[in-house]
Structures are given as C-alpha cells and as structure tokens.
Structure 1
Amino acid sequence: MIKLNCDMGESFAAWTMGDDAAVMPHVDMANIACGFHAGGPAIMAQTIQLAVEHQVEIGAHPAYPDLAGFGRRTLHFPQAELKAILHYQIGAIRALCLQAGAQLSYVKPHGALYNDMQRDQELFELVCRVIAEQNNSHPAHPPLYLLTLARANNTTQQRIAEYCNVELCFEAFADRRYEPDGSLRSRQYADAVFTDRETILDQAKAFACGEPIIASDGSQLRLQPQTLCVHGDNAESIATVVAIRQVLNGI
C-alpha cells in the first residue's frame, strides 16, 4: 500500500505549527524538522517520541538555515558549507533518534532546498553524496534513503542516486496540481493547490491505484509514487488526512 508522509516538528519556541499529535496516528512517515527552518532540540525529541509511540518511520527534514523565511527562500552556499549544513542537521536528529532508541530511516529536504534540487542536478548530487557519506559513517545502521519528487521522467535523478549508491523513494501530492512533465504547478497560479476534499481524495486514489491524473493542460499524467505527502496544519487538513487514509485502506 502507498504510504503517507507528513512534515512534522515544525513548531518553534512559543509558536505552534501543526497538530502533530492528531495527525501522527494516521501517517506512516514523519519528516521531522531539524532546527534550521523550524523546530529545535526539544521539539525534535518530542516528535521522535511521538513517532515511536505510533510506529511511524522517522525522516530528517533538513533545510537552508532560514528560520525567518521558514526555509522557503533559496540561499546560496559553497558546496563544502552546504554539505556541512546538511550533515549537521542529519547528525543532530540521528543522535536524538539513538537516544530515544529509534532509527532514522530517510532524508527529505524541506522547502526551497527540496524545490531547488529538483531543478539543479549538481545540488541533487550534493544531497545524495551527503546521504552516502552518512551511510558510510554508520555502517551498522540501515542505509538512509532520499525522499524526492515523482516526475514523469526520473531517469536523471535515478542515475545520480545510483552513482552515489543511494536509494530513492518517490512522493506525490494529493492536493497539488501538476504540470504535464510531472512538476508541481507554481503556487503563483490560483489553481495550484486543491481545496476541495473530493478532488484531493480522487487524486490520492488515482496515485494509489496507478491511474493517470489530469495535468494543468488537461492531458493525462501517470506517476508512480511510493508515498503521498499530506499536511496536518489545521483541523480541516487533518480531517482530509483521515479521509485519505480511509480511502487507501479501502483499496
């Protein structure tokens, strides 16, 4: 069955972001913020413990160092510095997982970093190399894999990941409109994000059943995701997650 993944642990100091406790029982994978766009040591530890209680797979959700912009702004760094930024975040959540008796399973970059690596082959390779180095440094642990966007053609990403000896897991979005090439429609367009629950459920079911969806130009687009990204930002989005889970359980 296709898995559900959700960004979590994104509260910061006095600000609460999302209801992790409400959504955790309904997902399979938790992408936990590593403190550079949101979260922090205590919130990371709490979210890890919540994932352990519900037997949810734990992933690192690293970002550009951009608390003010919630990691949604593209920032530029020399390769060596960006590698260190990613190792720092992945290493921090790995240490907290070990302390909790949990296992870190994968990496899903956040926000602008995630979007940038879809367009930039050098950046995608840098992320893969960081994961490969993490795996080589922890041979006693199962290797981390990279969660990335399912496209109409992922040949380039697969080639880079294979070269780096990193496994890929492809995700799709039930609540986003797609372009014909499998890229997400820019949020500058009014129809980029679905708000109608039935539309979201129909797209989730199509992905889960291997059926085509309708792209922005009206053409059919067939993707092969292994996981769907869902959101737990508010009561309405959590209700949609529950509905998606019920639809998937019924397939």
Structure 2
Amino acid sequence: MRIFDADRQEWVGHEREQRIAELHGRDAVRQGKALRGVVTVLAVCGLGFGAWALGWKDEPRPTGYLTVLEQPSKSAGTGVEGDTAAPSPEGVPPAPYEEVFDEEGFRLAVPRGWVRDLVEPAEGFNVVNYRSPKGDGRLQVYRVGESSPYSSLRTWLDETPMPGGFDQLGPLERRDDDGRPAARVEYVADTFKGEPDAGPWHVIDHRFEAVDGQLYALAVYGSDADGRDDEEEFLSTALSWFCPPGETCPKP
C-alpha cells in the first residue's frame, strides 16, 4: 500500500513510510535539543547583561559638570575677627562689610557688628564714629568747613596738637576723586585721648568733595602691628559706598 508523504511531497510504500517515521522522530529529538540550547544561551546572556547593567548603574556619575566654584577667601582685617572677604551679589558690599544709612543722613559701608557713637562738639559739625567690638578699629565721618580738602588737612596739621608718638608717613597729598578735589594724609601715633591702648595706631585721613558739593572727612584707624593694607581697604570700601545726605547715589 502506498501513502503520500506531505513533508516530502511524494508517494511512498510501507517500508518507506517506516523509514520516514524514524527520520521524523530523530529530527524532532534534534530540534528539541537545539531549542533547549538556544534557550540556555539566551538565559546566560540575559544574566550577564543584567549583572553588567547593575554594575554600570552603581558606577559614580561624572563630576565634570560643576556649576559652583569654591572661591579663595581673604582676610578683611581692621579689627574684624573671624570674617573673610567673599564674592558678593551686585549692589551689596563685600563681606564682612554692610551698607548702613546713618542717622546723620549719609550712606556708607562698615564692617558688620561695629558700634556707632556720636560726638556733638560745641562748634562745628557732629562727628560719627563706628568702632570695632574690641576697640582696635574705628571709622570717623564728619563734615568740614574749610574751602578745600587740602586746606582742611593743612590747617589741621599746622594748628592742631598732635597725639603722642605722631609720625607722618609721607607728604600731604592732593588727590582726585572722580573729578572732584580730595586730599589725604597718613600717619602713625602711639595714643589717642579716650581711645584704648591699641598702639601704635595707623591712621589714614581722607577729605573730599562729595556729589552734593560739600566737604567731608573719612578717617580710618587700626593697629599698625598687623600691617597697613587693611586700613587702606577699609577706607576704599567706605569711600566707594559714601553718599551724602539728600542725594541718590548709584551703588558701586
């Protein structure tokens, strides 16, 4: 009897049919083994990929995309302990200074924590002092009545009794503050009446014409033992932030 083999598309006899059946069975076994091998390989690959993915996830992220840079600090000096200069937002004095609006009507910048006092002389203008907590630093602000900054300081040097240990550092200078007249004298002294014994003191007395046409004095006092750059910085900061009463001044 002959039958039709659909897989081979041919007619076969009984013996041929048995042979075909045996071949079909052997092919099925081979296909099963091959399928199990493929599954095993895929499983091993999947485990390997998972382990790699977990390991990659735990790797530290790159640190090259930093947006904040640490800035070096700088000592502020002038009797201010524990403070450092730092970058400041626009329109804000550098640390450790702060903007103040004094009761006498002017604006300037002084170190944080300094204490204000007022001296009202029998003649002349009120004198404002800002003092450090330890008393070893001072900023003095007042109006002057002479005809020019230079003549004001010249009169003071010629007619005022000097403090003990007074030593003038260089000549009296004529200066220019943004096109307006100014003058400056720098000196050291051992003692000042009514002031603590922090000497020798280093003093910079700067007198100038402000934007209102009036003359003012800014004088800074500090210990000479720690150098003289801190008083220079203090005066520069206070002067750049100074604005006389009744005026509107841009911030530095």
TM-score normalised by length of structure 1: 0.24
Normalized per residue, the structure richer in helix is: 1
Larger Rg: 2
Q: TM-score, normalised by structure 2?
A: 0.24
Which structure features the higher share of strand residues?
Answer: 2
Highest RCO, 1 vs 2 (Cα 8 Å, sep ≥ 6): 1
